[in-house]
Amino acid sequence: MDYRKRIECVLEGTLSQTGSGSTRLVEAMRYSALGGGKRLRPTLVYTVGVALGASLESLDDPAAAVELVHVYSLIHDDLPAMDNDDLRRGRPSCHKAFGEASAILAGDALQALAFERLAGPANQLPEEAVHRLAMVRLLAAGIGTSGMAGGQAFDLESVGRKLDVSALQQMHRLKTGALIETSVLLGAAAAGVLSGPKWHALHEFGAAIGLAFQIQDDILDVTGTTDAIGKIAGADAAHDKPTYTSLMGLKGAKAAAEAQRARACAALTPLGTAGKGLEALAGFVIGRAN
Amino acid sequence: MDYRKRIECVLEGTLSQTGSGSTRLVEAMRYSALGGGKRLRPTLVYTVGVALGASLESLDDPAAAVELVHVYSLIHDDLPAMDNDDLRRGRPSCHKAFGEASAILAGDALQALAFERLAGPANQLPEEAVHRLAMVRLLAAGIGTSGMAGGQAFDLESVGRKLDVSALQQMHRLKTGALIETSVLLGAAAAGVLSGPKWHALHEFGAAIGLAFQIQDDILDVTGTTDAIGKIAGADAAHDKPTYTSLMGLKGAKAAAEAQRARACAALTPLGTAGKGLEALAGFVIGRAN
């Protein structure tokens, strides 16, 4: 199953049903959400959910929700007051194309849309409502002060300061790790797995690939080209940001990414054969070139 | 019951349990959310919910959620790229006190926190999960492109342009009306009222007081002092924003506010005696001096 194609179609559907007081606002949301990106987070939702027996249809809402949140965070992170990035996915970032006000509002509206999708239609069966509410809780926690927003604030406060590897890890665990972990857990929750050994195994798996993802991101900022990664290469060094490569060297960072991949695969044991398909995901996260 | 005191206490509790990767982020959220404001939206949730038989405890989560969303919207609306307001509730606005990056993130995290509160603790009874999920859906719709964010985008696009009264009304219905209407409906949903004549009556009531509120806001921008309203008086005229007073004159605007108050009270008929306590709310909305 090509999950990238599926999520593209799901997002297109969500964003074309969106009524609005402002065409420009919806255009800014569509510009940022459609037609690009690795779609790693929805892929995690689908792959984990299917491995645990959920139907693809039941995974469309959490997959869309987590990607909408990811897109909102990219839009806000790129703003001049934040990372001030002019390029995203090989195109002008949202505020360059639509202006800052529209970019701020597009991010806000995408977050709200994510929760609207996750809540789903009215008149659900009580059992499904329980699962969906658990997903709302997971997603909200992944975004907030103990998740993505907390990590981004931590990151901004670290510019020009010396961080050790443990502080860097803590920062990334929040900034990117939290939402990747959330994606894994949303897949589990949609399949009705909300506690127990499988839940804990996926927690550990999600934490490991979240970290592996960020280490690989830092590696690509050094080894990739602007063309291949779709954002300005070398931006971290230019902003004097602490990274895994600046703290551990390129070789050390590659070893650390591989160690997290191994940790992710080891965590899958309690899932038995259902875990096999997830091993490939861990390999994909550190093998990616963009 | 003093709902302002109660919501202050509820918000204080929510914002002191908030763990974070950044103390500064939580400080920015607390600065904007605590110690001020009319608390109109939580008051609506409590008053409507109690009128329909809900317990105060069951209304704390929706009351907190809607106020957290309102606070996030004030922070983002005040940003330089948006309305560029330096003063809010008689103090420097969030970005003046904490910087733009923290203000953007504080708004984002407050939105997420609102949904986290609304989802409530794990292990709820299925019936409560159904009500809470309905509230998530209502709040998300009130924020997004067909609600507050859509209205703010519409508003920004209207600066310096001529709007007629009907376009102005449509803009305000989204920008401020949607969240006020949502507050009323959250109170109803928490009491298990999700459809039927009472639901429709409250819809109409919410729409009318939402509009009355905005007309009164425009009136206060002309007649109030910066000191009394806690933000810069005359800012709308200075920004060349279309307002009810600029389109209808002060007298016309006052008549329009009174007409919406009467519409709100008339809408309450299907609620019988339960509606009596809500009439005072409509009076409060247009009687307020700040």
Cβ pairs bridging A and B (under 8 Å): 209
- Choice between B69 and A223, residue whose per-residue pLDDT is larger: B69
Judged by average pLDDT, the poorest of A103-112, A162-171, A204-213, B172-181 is A162-171
Q: Are A175 and A148 in contact (CB under 8 A)?
A: yes
Tokens linked to B122: 């794990």
What number of residues does chain A have?
290
Point out which residues pair with B87 in neighbouring strands. B92
CA dist A84 to A93, A96, A238, B101, Å?
9, 10, 12, 11
Nearest residue, CB atoms, A144 vs list B104, B112, B137:
B112
Percent of chain A with pLDDT over 90: 68
Number of domains, chain B: 1
Q: Which three-class secondary structure state does DSSP give residue B160? A: coil
Q: What is the pLDDT of residue A222?
A: 87
Q: Which three-class secondary structure state does DSSP give residue B219? A: helix
Mean pLDDT of chain A: 90
**Tell me, what amino acid is at A110?**
L
Best probe of the B interface among A17, A84, A133, by most B CBs < 10 A, is A133
- Is B182 an interface residue toward A (CB < 8 Å)? no
Judged by average pLDDT, the poorest of A55-64, A233-242, A261-270, B127-136 is A233-242
The CA distance from A252 to A42, in Å, is 30
Judged by average pLDDT, the poorest of A21-25, A64-68, A122-126, A158-162 is A158-162
Give the single-character DSSP code of B87: E
CATH number where A261 lies: 1.10.600.10
Nearest residue, CB atoms, B126 vs list A79, A127, A140:
A127
Q: What is the pLDDT of residue A183?
A: 98
* Closest by Cα among B158, B185, B160, B182 to B169: B158
- Is B160 an interface residue toward A (CB < 8 Å)? no
**Average pLDDT over every residue of A245-269:** 93
Q: Are B69 and B139 in contact (CB under 8 A)?
A: yes
The CA distance from A234 to A245, in Å, is 11
What does the pLDDT profile of chain B (290 residues) look like in tens digits? Answer: 699 999 999 999 999 877 777 889 999 999 999 977 889 999 999 999 999 999 999 999 999 999 999 999 999 999 999 989 998 888 999 999 999 999 999 999 999 999 999 999 988 888 899 999 999 999 999 999 999 999 999 988 887 788 888 998 899 999 999 999 999 999 999 999 999 999 999 999 999 999 999 999 889 988 876 666 566 666 666 667 778 998 899 999 999 999 999 999 999 999 998 888 898 888 887 777 66
- Is A19 an interface residue toward B (CB < 8 Å)? yes
Phi, psi of A135, rounded to the nearest 5 degrees: -70, -40
A72: which chain B residues are within 8 Å (Cβ-Cβ)? 108
Q: Which three-class secondary structure state does DSSP give residue B124? A: coil
| 3-state helix vs strand vs coil in chain B, percent to 5 | 75, 0, 25
* B145 with A79: Cβ contact below 8 A: no
Judged by average pLDDT, the poorest of A7-11, A153-157, B104-108 is A153-157
Q: Which three-class secondary structure state does DSSP give residue B257? A: helix
- Is A146 an interface residue toward B (CB < 8 Å)? yes
Chain A closest-CA separation from residue B280 CA (Å)? 31
Tokens linked to B49: 């919910």
Q: What is the pLDDT of residue B234?
A: 67
- Residues 231 through 290 of chain B touching chain A, CB cutoff 8 Å: none
Q: What is the pLDDT of residue B145?
A: 95
Per the confidence metrics, is the pTM higher than 0.80?
A: yes
* B126 with A122: Cβ contact below 8 A: no
**Average pLDDT over every residue of A193-203:** 95
**Residue A134: pLDDT above 60?**
yes
Q: What is the domain range of residue A119?
A: 3-287
Tokens linked to B85: 């307001």
**Average pLDDT over every residue of A254-276:** 92
DSSP string, A157-220: HHTTS---HHHHHHHHIIIIIHHHHHHHHHHHHHTT--SHHHHHHHHHHHHHHHHHHHHHHHHH
Point out which residues pair with B67 in neighbouring strands. none
ipTM: 0.94
Q: Which three-class secondary structure state does DSSP give residue A99? A: coil
- Is B225 an interface residue toward A (CB < 8 Å)? no
Best probe of the B interface among A115, A169, A173, by most B CBs < 10 A, is A115
Q: Are A216 and A257 in contact (CB under 8 A)?
A: yes
- Strands B87-88, A91-92: pairing kind: unpaired
B29: which chain A residues are within 8 Å (Cβ-Cβ)? 145
**Average pLDDT over every residue of A56-69:** 98
Q: What is the pLDDT of residue A227?
A: 60
Q: What is the pLDDT of residue A191?
A: 95
Torsion on CA atoms A29, B164, B182, B14, rounded to nearest 10: 70
- Strands A87-88, A91-92: pairing kind: antiparallel
**Average pLDDT over every residue of A169-177:** 91
**Tell me, what amino acid is at B147?**
G
Give the single-character DSSP code of A95: H
B22: which chain A residues are within 8 Å (Cβ-Cβ)? 145, 150, 153-154, 157
Chain A closest-CA separation from residue B76 CA (Å)? 8
